[in-house]
Structure 1
Amino acid sequence: MNSSNPPVKHHYIPKFLLAQWAVNEGKLWRYLQPIPGKMVTKLVAPAEIGYEEHLYATPGLPPEQTQQIEQLFMSPLDSLAADAHQLLLAGKVQNMPQRERSAWSRFIMSQWFRTPDSLRYFKEAMRLALTVRDDALNARYAELRQEGYPESLEAIVEMMGPEFVEQTAMGLLRKMSDDPKNGLRLNNMVWAVIETSGGREFLISDAALHQGNSGIFSAQGYATLPIAPRKLFVAASSPTTVQQIRALARNDLVSRNNRAVVRRASIFVGATDLSQKPWIEENFGQEENDTLIKGLVEKYRTTFAETGVSA
């Protein structure tokens, strides 16, 4: 049952993860860049960072159902992931119960889609997918169309209105974040938590999840996620890849991860202190975050360009 007072702050980086950096009387340093070249820093509580109001709201539904993705999916997902996170922090990565291991896999999958940037691309991909003309599919529809039905599939989508696209996107977001095939693939990967000491700490951002250039499920694939200032979660397709990551000098490992986390950030960076402020200012948002969903959008944009249809 949906709450009569649903939350409006929808966290894409959950509070349980951000809390690991909140070592200053329960607060962490938030780095923002409201305009290029200007960095603003502030101590904030985990509840005040990594969220967007109504991010997962589904338009066009009755008020009591508008927040169902947050209430019935994201919030329970994060609750279970928080339990798995505690086991990872405690060094129990190798003997996690199946329930917690699967919960962590779902959390990792959700990070592919749930950030504001990814969700924006996801909705655009859905709009393009539902708008571009598929001649083969329309030919089949023409064979089955009965008298009084719209003349094309595109006409059906247009009749349903712009909210239909977002409703479809939000429904598919939930399914893809809980895809059993990819969940099993993640469960079967080699997991590790690498702990560091001394030197710089890992940073957190809206682009915290990082994966290798060859793709996470390739033979050399891997994904990393900082789970604390001194701990990095690694999932890899092979033990050799984990060993190679472990073999990196600790300063090199932290620098490589922070470079990805900071240079691909578009909203915020989180840290325990201000020691890396000059470096964060120099590198914040300097690279595009080439996500799976962004690639899908580019594919549909190319389709539009080739067919001469205006997007």
Structure 2
Amino acid sequence: MERIAAGVTALQRLVLDLRSNRTSREAQLGLNLEATPHVLAGDQNTAARTPVAKLPPRASLGKMRGPAARSSARGQRPRRVCAQSDMPKTAPLGILQPMSKEGKHHYIPVFYLKQWAGKDGRLCEYSNPYDRVRVRNVHPGGTGFVHGLYSVPGLPPEASQYVERTQMQHFDNEAAIALRALLDQKLDDPNLSWEVKIWWAAFLYGLVLRTPKYVAKLQERITKPFIADRIRLERDGTPSAKQAEIPLRAPIAAVEMLPKMFKSKELIQGINKMDWYTLHMSGQKHSLLTSDRPIIMSNGLARPTDFLIIPISPTTLFVAANSPKIEKRLKDMDIDKLVVAVNDRVAKQAVDYVYGIDNSHLLFVSRRLGKRLKSTPLG
């Protein structure tokens, strides 16, 4: 199998047709005005990475309905040990369902991992806790979490969960709606609303920031914590009508900054100005993998050759890019080489987990999991 080259050269630029009053609407969503030049400009000490050198002949840009994906999968019949079902159809996203219980805070959202789940509701998790990759069947809610990851120290037990319950779950619910739209519609469909585009862009950036490693790094930067009062919030993030007589007081925690960082106006606008498309595949030898660092990104997003790629199902890639040359490259590349290239990078970037629909990638993952290549300029 060919390994991924150091990266894709140019992807495609197309300024999305957002409405003229988008700025005011973004304000209604509470978008943060903070700039994040490090992500846009890239790491100046790192050469730009380009993940794929060629792109596929049999892939189709736009949408592929569920039956086509399922018929393609039935033609493959890969061996099943982890997942005993056929290639999963687009999974129900579980919108509005609680995404964490008893302190399970997912840094890999449940709705995202559900796309790799089989008919039994489980996916195949690859991990190497003891320097040897193992596989296990697991439900999407049973992996990719840390207990209390987004808890705020110093607050009462129930109140300490407010970031997870009122912010992170809200982000995931909105992003789940966006994922459904991306899987079910063409990206040029007028029904793909500005809200969908904004929440999906925020979700992509959030995947980079919400990891245990980045949360710990952010907390280390708070050298002079200050005490702050909190108001009680409802689950939708709005202030509660029943406020405590004594304000909730505790030092500001790094996790309380994450929701505003997710909504960085500069980052969201930067991603939305790129050309978006989905690449639906059929007839390939292997399915796409994902991991706890699934985003394949160039060294920044501001240059003409910059891009962002993420698997959003076992047969679908989401691509955002700045160059018009990528569409031709996608159509010209052999589909099996593209899948291998993406899987290679996704597995090498992983910190703890790689995910698939079955264990047929065990040898492939064993040779890559643990390398921990940088996924973005932030790490």
Q: Say yes or no: does 1:23 pair with 2:109.
A: no
Q: Where has structure 1 moved over 4 Å in runs of 4 or more?
A: none
Distance 1:58 1:41 in 2: 33
CA positional deviation for 1:290? 5.2
Distance 2:217 2:378 in 1: 6
Give the secondary-structure state (helix, strand or coil) at the position aligned to 2:277: strand
Distance 1:57 1:242 in 2: 43
Contact 1:93 1:191 in 2 (8 A): yes
Q: Mean alpha-carbon deviation: is it higher for 96-105 or for 239-248? A: 239-248
Contact 2:153 2:253 in 1 (8 A): no
* Aligned sequence identity (%): 29
Matched residue, 1:103: 199
Higher relative CO (Cα under 8 Å, sequence separation at least 6) belongs to 2
Q: Cα deviation per residue 1:88-125 (whole Å; 9 max; x = unaligned)?
A: 1113322211111111011011011011222223323x
Distance 1:67 1:241 in 2: 43
Q: Say yes or no: does 1:90 pair with 2:184.
A: yes
Q: 2:336 aligns with which of 224, 239, 251?
A: 251
TM-score calculated relative to the size of structure 2: 0.63
User: Kindly tell me: are residues 23 and 158 of structure 1, through their superposed partners in 2, closer, same or farther at Cα, counting changes over 3 Å?
Assistant: closer
Contact 1:91 1:193 in 2 (8 A): no
Q: Mean alpha-carbon deviation: is it higher for 69-78 or for 281-290? A: 281-290
Contact 2:300 2:376 in 1 (8 A): no
User: Kindly tell me: are residues 122 and 247 of structure 1, through their superposed partners in 2, closer, same or farther at Cα, counting changes over 3 Å?
Assistant: farther
Specify every segment of 5 or more residues in structure 2 that has no aligned partner in the other structure, as ranges: 1-97, 228-249
Q: 2:301 aligns with which of 203, 210, 216?
A: 216
Distance 2:327 2:217 in 1: 31
CA positional deviation for 1:12? 1.3
Q: Which has the larger radius of gyration?
A: 1
Specify every segment of 5 or more residues in structure 1 that has no aligned partner in the other structure, as ranges: 131-156, 295-311
Within-5 A mapping of 1:1-311 = 7-36=102-131, 38-95=132-189, 96-124=192-220, 126-127=221-222, 130=223, 157=224, 164=251, 167-197=252-282, 198-212=284-298, 214-289=299-374, 291-294=376-379
Matched residue, 2:25: none
User: Kindly tell me: are residues 7 and 233 of structure 1, through their superposed partners in 2, closer, same or farther at Cα, counting changes over 3 Å?
Assistant: farther
Distance 1:205 1:217 in 2: 25
Distance 1:216 1:251 in 2: 27
TM-score calculated relative to the size of structure 1: 0.76
CA positional deviation for 1:6? 6.3
Contact 2:208 2:293 in 1 (8 A): no
Distance 1:187 1:16 in 2: 22
Contact 1:6 1:67 in 2 (8 A): no
Give the secondary-structure state (helix, strand or coil) at the position aligned to 1:103: helix
